[in-house]
Homo-oligomer: A and B are copies of this chain.
Amino acid sequence: MSRSATVVAIRPHRKACGACADCEVRRTAVCAALEDDEVVALERIMGSVRLEANAMLVEEGAPRRRVFSLTSGMLRLLTALPDGRRQITGFLLPGDYLGLLDEATHTLTAEAVVPSVLCGFPVPQMQDLMERYPRLRDRLHQMTKAALRQAWDNQLVLGRLAPVEKVSSFLLVLSARQASGRPVSDTVPLAMTRADIADYLGLTVETVSRSFTKLRQQGLIRLPDAHRVEIVDRGALAAVAGMEPQSSGSSTPSTKR
Contacts and interface: CB of A to CB of B under 8 A. Distances in A.
Interface in A241-257: 242, 244-245, 255-257
B89 A152 contact: yes
A236 to B, nearest CB: 15
Interface residues of A, number: 42
Most chain B CB neighbours (cut-off 10 Å) among A86, A140, A202, A257: A202
B242 A82 contact: yes
Interface in A110-168: 134, 137, 140-141, 144-145, 147-149, 151-152, 154-156, 158-160
A68 to B, nearest CB: 17
Interface string A213-256: 00000000000000000000000000000101100000000011
A159 B101 contact: no
A155 B156 contact: no
Chain copies in the assembled complex: 2
Most chain B CB neighbours (cut-off 10 Å) among A134, A156, A200: A156
19 contacts: A79-B156, A82-B242, A82-B244, A82-B245, A84-B257, A85-B160, A85-B256, A86-B160, A87-B155, A87-B156, A87-B159, A101-B149, A107-B152, A137-B141, A141-B141, A151-B152, A151-B154, A158-B202, A160-B199
